[in-house]
Structure 1
Amino acid sequence: MESVSCVRRVVRSLPPLLPLLLLLLRSSCEGRESELNFVTCGSLVKLLNTRHNVRLHSHDVKYGSGSGQQSVTGVESADDANSYWQIRGNPKRQCQRGSAVKCGQTIRITHMKTGRNLHTHHFSSPLSHNQEVSAFGEHGEGDDLDVWAVQCDGDYWERDEAVRFKHQGTDVFLSITGEQYGNPIRGQREVHGMRSPNQHNWWRTMEGVFIQPSQELLHHDEL
Structure 2
Amino acid sequence: MKLFTSTILLLALASNALAASKHPEIEHGLEKVTCGSMIKLANVDTGYKLHSHTVAYASGSGQQSVTALSSSVDANSFWKVQASYGRGCLRGEPIPCGATIRLHHVGTKGYLHSHHHNSPLSHQQEVSCFDKEDTGDDWRVVCTGKSKEWMREESVRLVHVETKKYLSTSPRYTFAAPISGQLEVSCGGKDGSITLWAAQEGVYFA
Taking structure 1 as the reference length, the TM-score comes to 0.77
1:119-146 C-alpha deviation (Å, 9 max, x unpaired): 0000110001111000002xxx511100
Q: Does 1:99 align with 2:93?
A: yes
Instruction: Note the 1:1-223 alignment, pairs <5 A.
Output: 36-137=30-131, 141-152=132-143, 153=145, 154-178=147-171, 179-212=173-206
The CA distance in 2 between the partners of 1:209 and 1:36, in whole Å, is: 9
Whole-angstrom distance in 1 between the partners of 2:45 and 2:32: 22
Q: Deviations over 1:144-171 (max 9, x none)?
A: 1000000014210011201000000111
What is the SS of the residue equivalent to 1:107? strand
SS where residue 136 of structure 2 aligns? helix
CA distance in structure 1 between the partners assigned to 2:89 and 2:141 by the alignment: 14
Structure 2 unaligned blocks of 5 or more: 1-26
In 2, the alpha carbon distance for the partners of 1:164 and 1:148 equals 9
State the secondary structure of the residue aligned to 1:72. strand
SS, match of residue 200 in structure 1: helix
Q: Distance in 1 between matches of 2:89 and 2:160?
A: 18
For residues 174 and 48 of structure 1, the distance between their equivalents in structure 2, rounded to whole angstroms, comes to 12
Q: Which amino acid is the alignment partner of residue 166 of structure 2? A: F
Number of equivalences = 176
Distance (whole Å) between structure 2 residues aligned to residue 37 and residue 58 of structure 1: 25
Counterpart residue number, 1:5:
none
TM-superposed CA distance for 1:36, in Å, is 2.9
Letter in 2 for 1:150: V
Partner SS for 2:194: helix
Deviations 1:98-125 (A, max 9, x none): 0100000000001000000000000110
**Residue 93 of structure 1, CA deviation:** 2.7
The answer as to whether partners of 2:85 and 2:137 remain within 8 angstroms in 1 is no
The 1-side partners of 2:75 and 2:199 are apart by 15
1:18 is aligned to none
1-side partners of 2:86 and 2:106: how far apart?
21
Across the aligned residues of Structure 1 and Structure 2, the Cα RMSD in angstroms comes to: 1.4
Q: Is the 8 A contact 2:44 2:197 kept in 1?
A: yes
Which contiguous aligned blocks of 4+ residues in structure 1 show a shift greater than 2 angstroms?
Answer: none
Indicate the residue corresponding to 1:27 in structure 2.
none
Larger Rg: 1
Larger relative contact order (Cα-Cα within 8 Å, sequence gap ≥ 6):
2
